[in-house]
Each structure stands twice: as structure tokens, then as C-alpha cells.
Amino acid sequence: MNRYLDDDFAPVPEELTALDLDITGTLPDHLDGRYLRIGPNPAIDPGESYHWFLGEGMVHGVRLEEGRARWYRNRWVRPRSGDFAPNTNVLSHAGRTMALVEAGSPPYELDEELDTLGRCGFAGDLRAGYTAHPHEDPATGELHAISYSWTRGNRVDYSVLGADGRLRHQAEVEVHGSPMMHDCALTEHYVVLYDLPVTFDVDMALGDVPRPARPAVRFVLNRIIGRNPAPDRIVDLMARGQGAPTQLPYSWNADYPARIGLLPREASSVAGPAPVRWFDIDPCFVFHTLNAFEDPDTGEVVIDVVRHDKMFATRFDGPDEGPASLVRFTLDLTSGKAREHRYDEHAQEFPRCDERRTGRRHRYGYSVGFTGERLGDSILKHDTVAGTTQERRLGAGRGAGEFVFVPNSPDSLTDPEDAGVLMGYVLDRSSGLSDLVVLDAATLEDVATVHLPGRVPAGFHGNWAPT
Ligand SMILES: [Fe+2]
């Protein structure tokens, strides 16, 4: 059986609603909002060739208020015919809840109780879909994003979504070819791009094209891909076969350079592609940023990410090319060189920080530690100043997905940086049920556990959506 349909990954068959959930411990009174997390949950059996990234999205949410867990709901995202059901991130911005995915598909808006309302209003203004990983500037409330799609040739799109939820700025950025660009980072003056060697794979993509059209499509794509935008006729042909895509047409490309780019914020592409300064790094792949900032003492740009040595090189049903590690890239703007520092030996993913510090200097970061191939078995806390890592193991038979930091005093940055809680779903394999686990971010000790009536399969990203 495909491993992404089995075990911790097995989809759940139904949508549940449960009110007034049981809690162990004491939920802090100030937590007033929803914890939301999304992941793939195929509605019908997608078959053996299923890629984990291609399952229809399902959101799992818990409403917390006045020390109570008011409800749990899990809901499929229900897009209009022909659209993909976003499955990668769910967040609230400008008063709306958005389900997000990358690579050309539009974002969808959900209501407070996670039912699908429709495409987000700004979707029609996007050149080619959005991203699952926009970054909110805490000073302005604006979302900065880099979006990619194979249809755009060697261009990706920078966009700024205003605090009012409207698209305020877009610019084209030239990259080397046609890379997968899952995330970006934000600093005070720059958007950080990862132009890395996982790129659009023509032969994989042809699997979804009607057979008689494949030779012509292959010929055209091989001539243009990574250089020019794809002609509408070819995009239509590809889309025709992609009612239910079975492959993610991106793979490791050893001939492609690995580099990190600094794009000035607000850069324009009115007179040609927006200017980017590039820094070469060793071949690797990055899905996720922990945070980035400009160091005022050195003038360098510092970027903390989880680094994979390779991706989609030997396994094509999910991200499964061995352990990933937390590293710091430091870009020296004077010499034009990048340095790389590895923090520790832990295999990990899903890095987060106190996102009120996005683009500003952070001390602490949090991630999920993995020793097996399934869900994570520990929560890690990194002290980037002391260079230490604290590990909270979750216990035998218990597996965690991403944990998010929620500050104790939402408006105060004067508290210690780790004054807050971490929350995320933990699956207990013996009961087959999940909990929403709330940990003290300072100590990683239990604060409260909300017991859910169902299982939350291994998935992608979540966020706290305050009321
Ligand atoms: Fe992601």
C-alpha cells in the first residue's frame, strides 16, 4: 500500500463536529480563537501512485475560549469544479480564513466554522496562483509572498497583500529555470528567494496528458520550459488531464544551480524583471524558513531554514530523501558569499518562531523532531544565541505534526521571547485519537491537552487564528 495512505497518514472518512471537549490540565484564559491545521485527505482512493502533496485538503480546527474548548470540526475544502482543493496551509488574514496551496492553484476562503465560501477575492488578480507560505510583516499586517507555477517559464511572482486583504503590489522575478519554490523569507528590506535544484520535470508532467497529444506537448515543453511562459494551448492540454493529477511533476535536477536571492521589498518589474542579488550555496533543498533578519552589527542577512540534502531524487510519492537539519545561512553583502552553519544533529521539519518577530532578530525557534518515518516524536526548542537545543519527547506511540507559537500577551514584545505556548495535534496510535496539545514554550512542559473525538492524520501547516 502507498505509505501516504496508511498508518499515521491514512485519511479520515468523515467530517465530525464535537462540542465542549474534555481537557486535561488548564487552558490559559487568554487563548481566544481557533487553532487550524490543514493536510491532504483524499476523498476517494487515489491509487498506488498517489503523491502526498496531491490529496484534497481537509482542515481540522479547535475553538478555544475562556479556558474551554468549545468545538472541534474537520472539513474538506470544497472548491469549484476544475480547481484543486488547497491542502498546504490555513491562516487568517484581514478577517478571513484562507486555505492555501502553491504551484498555480487559487486560494480558497473558509468561514469561521471551516465550511468553504469560495475562491479568495484576490485570486482573480494573481498571475498564476498563490503560495502556501506568505509571510506577514508584523509592522504593517501585509502578506509578502513568492508564487511559482511551471506555466510562467523562468519567472516567479512577488506579491504583497495589503492589511485590507487586497492585492497591493505584484512584480515578476527572473529565476534560473522552473524551480519549486515552496517558501520564501522576509527581512526588513528584502524578500529572500530559494532558487534550488528541484525543478519542473517534463516527462513526469506528461503522465497526465492525453496520450495522443504527448509527443507534441513534450516537444514544445522541452523547448520552452524554464525559459518562456507556456502557451495557453499547452496549459489547457495539461489542465485537461489534471482533473485528478497523480504525479507532482518536480524532481531533483543535478544540473541546476543552488542559490539564495535577495529581492528588495517593493521591487517593481515595470522595466523588466525585478532586480535580485544572488548568493551561491551548496546543492540542497529548502521547504521551510524559521525566520530571517538583517544583523545590524555585521550588515549580514541571516536566514534560518530546515535544509534537505536532496529532494525528489529517488522517491516520488512524498518528501522522503532522508533526515533534514536546521541550518543558518549568512549572506555577506560585501563579499557576495554565503556561509552555512548547522545547528544540531536532530532530524527535523516544520520550523516556527514567534511570528511577531518575522524579519527581525529572533532568539528561539521551534520545530518537530523525527526519528522514524511517520509523525514527529518530539518538539524541539532551539536557542540560536546559546547554540543549544532542548527536546521534549512525546511518549511512546504518540506522534506530532507542526506546533505553532502563541504569545501570552499578544501585543507585548517586552516579555521574554519564549513567554507563550506551543500548540499542535498529537496522535495517539493506541487509541486512534488525536489531542490538541498545549505546551509551555519556556519549559516545553504540558499546559493542557484537549481530547478530540477523532484522528488527525499527518498533514502540513497550522496557525492560531485569534478571535
Ligand atoms: Fe510547507
Helices marked H in 30-109 — which ranges? none
Quote the ligand 1 centre to 216 CA distance (angstroms).
34
CA 36 to centroid of ligand 1, rounded, Å: 15
* Separation of CA 22 and ligand 1 centre (Å): 30
- Residue 225 confidence class, pLDDT cut points 50, 70, 90: confident
Q: For position 411, what pLDDT does the model report?
A: 77
All residues at 6 or more sequence positions from 14 whose CB lies less than 8 Å from its CB, including other chains: none
Question: How far away, in angstroms, is 298 Cα from ligand 1 center?
Answer: 30
State the chain's mean pLDDT as an integer: 93
Tell me what pLDDT residue 9 has.
Answer: 94
- Cα(214) to centroid(ligand 1), Å: 31
Q: Which residues in 327-352 are b (16+ Cβ under 10 Å) and which e?
A: bbbbbeeeeeebeeeebbebbbbbbb
Q: How far is the CA of 39 from the centre of ligand 1 (A)?
A: 10
- Tell me which of 243 and 422 has the higher pLDDT: 422
If you average pLDDT over residues 19-29, what whole number do you get?
Answer: 97
Cα of 305 vs centre of ligand 1, distance in Å, is 12
pLDDT in tens, 321-363: 999 999 999 999 999 999 999 999 999 999 999 999 999 999 9
For 446-456, the pLDDT digits (tens) are 999 999 999 99
Q: Measured in angstroms, how far is the CA atom of residue 101 from the centroid of ligand 1?
A: 9
Residues in the chain: 467
Q: 160, 142 in Cβ contact below 8 A?
A: yes
pLDDT at 245 (0 to 100)? 61
Answer for the pair 15, 449: CB distance below 8 angstroms, yes or no: no
Per-residue pLDDT tens for 240-265?
655 556 678 899 999 999 999 999 99
Contact 316, 248 (CB under 8 A): yes
Q: For the segment 360-402, what is each residue's pLDDT rounded down to a tens digit? A: 999 999 999 999 778 899 999 999 999 999 999 999 999 999 9
Average pLDDT of the residues in 145-154: 93
- For residue 460, the CA-to-ligand 1 centroid distance in Å is 6
pLDDT above 70 coverage of the chain, percent = 98
Q: What distance in angstroms lies between residue 102's CA and the mean position of ligand 1's atoms? A: 9
Identify whether the C-beta of residue 330 lies closer than 8 Å to the C-beta of residue 341.
Answer: yes
Nearest to 343 by CA among 392, 301, 377, 307: 307
pLDDT tops 90 at residue 297? yes
Instruction: Give the pLDDT confidence score for residue 154 in this predicted structure.
Output: 93
Q: Which three cell numbers stand for residue 309?
A: 540534502
Least-confidence region, from 59-68, 212-221, 390-399: 212-221
E-strand spans in 148-216? 155-161, 167-174, 185-186, 190-195, 198-200
Query: Ligand 1 centre and the CA of 459: distance in Å?
Result: 10
- Mind listing the pLDDT tens digit for each residue in 72-119? 999 999 999 889 999 999 999 999 999 999 998 999 999 999 999 999
CA of 114 to the centre of ligand 1 (A): 20
How high is the pLDDT of residue 70? 98
Ligand 1: centre distance to CA 289 (Å) = 9
Burial of 12 (0-12, 13-18, 19+ CB in 10 A): middle
Q: What pLDDT was estimated at residue 241?
A: 56
Q: What is the mean pLDDT of residues 216-244?
A: 76
